[in-house]
Amino acid sequence: MDLRILGAVAAELDGRPVPLDGSKQRTALAALLLAEGTVLSDERLTVLLWGWRPPATSTRQLYTYVSRLRTRLGPRLRLERHGTGYRMDIGDASFDRTAFRTLAATGRADLLARRYQDAERRLDQALGLWHGPALTGVTDHLRESEASQLEEARLAALEDHAEAALALGRHTELIPALTHQVALQPIRERLRGQLMTALFRSGRQADALAVYDRGNEALADELGIDPGPVLRTLRQEILTGALAPPEAPERDTATVSHPPAVAARAAEPEAFPASPAPASPVPATLPAAPADFVGRAAETRELLTALRGRRGAVITGAAGTGKSALALRAAEQCREDFPQGRLYADLRTADGGPRAPGEVLGWFLSALGVAPERTPGALDERIQLYRTLLSTRRLLVVLDNVFDDAQVRPLLPGEGPSRTLITGVRSHLASLEGLHMVRLGALEPVEAGQLLAAVAGSERLTASPEAAARIAESCDRLPLALRIAAARLAAHPHWTAGMLADRLARPGRRLAELRLGSLDLRSGLRNVADQLDPADRTAAGILAAAGLTRLTAGDAGALLGTAADEAEELLERLVDAQLLDAWSTDGANGLCYRFPPLVQLFLQPQHTPAPC
């Protein structure tokens, strides 16, 4: 099992992500991991989850979060009650913070002993364990308590890594990453001095002195102090040309860059080719976009603006809203913007589960021209090689049907001109940094009619506009449901539009009607519902069976026999899965919820088998 907090809080069991529900469950896991085998009291956990004003049901909710963690993490991890708290023993599971701390400490010892190559290698490995800001996805209470210490450890390792790389004479390649880090940490004098050194050794004396001047201004403005003696001495050495050369320069080798690190070098360069063979074809693995695609003009413009600029994009929406079709449509329209290739992967397996990132990276590396015998086996090494190959190329990477943010992070390109387009249901994909979010809902009535006509032919639909409108509303104006309904009409030339509208008007048959061949609306809804905790799935069925057109937390609590705040947590998890719609009101209830009609039918007991 792999446990991670250096980036998004996540757990992976046998290569598959462990589902974690929302920020509070991620907080409980991260807090127990950070306790490092000591007992974490209920009081401390409660503060980290809710702050100093927890809800009245916090004890019950805390028990629920821990119970779910115990179930989902399985027997390999021991999560036990001890007195008035909990203790987690991770056994032989890997924990990225522990691995980082060990590598960083060993790398620093190598640095102090002037074993620069060993130091650079180990510190590079340590920094490669970071995949974004630590503790992403947890509550603000835990992040405020722990994130600054973790970030300080990362910066210290980053500075040690830069020092080792400078000693090896790798000053020129360090400049871009050091420039970026100094911009982020303007009053960190060691980083600024390392950038000045790299610039001077690259023949850029004036730029090195300008970096000192900007640091002088930043320290005066923010702290009211002058640069320290080390930085002042370095400036004098640059002015007089007396700065010493690299202590232990090495010959040039192929490098692999980790996004958070200043620079990185593979331990065995021959296993990491810097680029595919020159004869490698331009990868083009995207499926074709639907030829009869209609609507979504505003959303398409948003996506193209993001992809052609400096950002990737995420398309979210409920099952059946046409996320994949829109992604392929946008990718087709910006084909010329990505002349060095387009990569595609469906991150959902045939049985509806999440596909392992390592498998997808194997596909991508093959498409990029890496021979099977030169493809690394370890996930981290595949990530390094993949990001290296994309670092100087402009490719579009389309990741379809993403399960959650932890599954997709290893597949994101590092720094460079490549862009990523992601589709998925879960709203916490919004935690992916630097990506533009586009949310899809139902089609407009006119667009729904256009899609029906494009698939079924316009004759029967124009002859009965009232029936076409009834079909569209029975399909909740979802592109997948509309496409299936229109395809059924095209497959039955003896039906009129009115006949299909009547068949769809019967709630007991509606979902069965919305299936044809491999197209099945229930399959998409099932993929989402199966990701729910079994207790949440049962509760959703109870709420759906009540048939209410509007729910409040109080209503849900009364139906489920729970407190209103506990019911609200459930409702928000269903909103996150896009099985519920939510909106704010000005009344006392605050939030209202409703099941889309097709979702409500699906969550109720199944009805008639699919017709012919």
Q: What pLDDT was estimated at residue 240?
A: 87
Average pLDDT over residues 204-226: 93
Model confidence at 212, in pLDDT bands (50, 70, 90)?
Answer: very high
Q: What pLDDT was estimated at residue 290?
A: 85
Sheet containing 312-317, strands listed edge to edge, beginning at the edge strand earlier in sequence: 342-346, 396-402, 419-424, 312-317, 435-440
Mind listing the pLDDT tens digit for each residue in 23-74? 899 999 999 999 999 999 999 999 999 998 899 888 889 988 898 898 888 8
Mind listing the pLDDT tens digit for each residue in 428-445? 677 787 788 899 989 999
The pLDDT > 70 percentage for the chain reads 92
- The three-class DSSP label of residue 340 is coil
- The three-class DSSP label of residue 64 is helix
Q: What pLDDT was estimated at residue 384?
A: 86
Average pLDDT over residues 311-319: 88
Average pLDDT over residues 83-103: 92
Average pLDDT over residues 355-379: 88
Average pLDDT over residues 369-384: 85
Task: Report the candidate in 487, 488, 483, 525 with the shortest Cα–Cα distance to residue 503.
Answer: 488
Longest distance between any two alpha carbons in the chain, whole Å: 92
- For the chain, what is the mean pLDDT? 86
SS3 per residue for 269-332: HHHCCCCCCCCCCCCECCCCCCCCCCCCHHHHHHHHHHHHCCCEEEEEECCCCCHHHHHHHHHH
Mind listing the pLDDT tens digit for each residue in 439-475? 998 999 998 988 988 888 887 788 788 989 999 999 9
Q: What pLDDT was estimated at residue 587?
A: 52
Pairing of strands 435-440, 515-516: unpaired
Q: What pLDDT was estimated at residue 388?
A: 84
Whether residue 425 contacts residue 318, with contact meaning beta carbons closer than 8 Å, is answered with yes
Whether the per-residue pLDDT at 246 is higher than 70: the answer is yes
Mind listing the pLDDT tens digit for each residue in 532-568? 888 888 999 999 888 888 888 888 889 989 898 888 8
Whether the per-residue pLDDT at 278 is higher than 70: the answer is no
Whether residue 550 contacts residue 571, with contact meaning beta carbons closer than 8 Å, is answered with no
Alpha-helical regions (H) of 391-474: 405-408, 445-456, 458-463, 465-474
Q: What pLDDT was estimated at residue 606?
A: 55
Average pLDDT over residues 392-405: 89
Q: Exposed (0-12), middle (13-18) or buried (19+): which is 240, by Cβ within 10 Å?
A: exposed
DSSP per position, 528-578? HHTTS-HHHHHHHHHHHHTT-SSB-HHHHHHHHTS-HHHHHHHHHHHHHTT
Strand partners, 421: 313, 398
Average pLDDT over residues 135-152: 93
Task: Report the candidate in 72, 85, 86 with the shortest Cα–Cα distance to residue 3.
Answer: 72
Average pLDDT over residues 396-405: 90
Whether the per-residue pLDDT at 241 is higher than 50: the answer is yes
For the chain, the straight-line distance linking the first and the last C-alpha, in angstroms and rounded, comes to 46
Q: What pLDDT was estimated at residue 230?
A: 92
Model confidence at 269, in pLDDT bands (50, 70, 90)?
Answer: very low
List % helix, strand, coil for the chain (3-state, nearest 5).
55, 10, 35
Model confidence at 427, in pLDDT bands (50, 70, 90)?
Answer: low
The residue to which tokens 């920094």 are assigned? 127
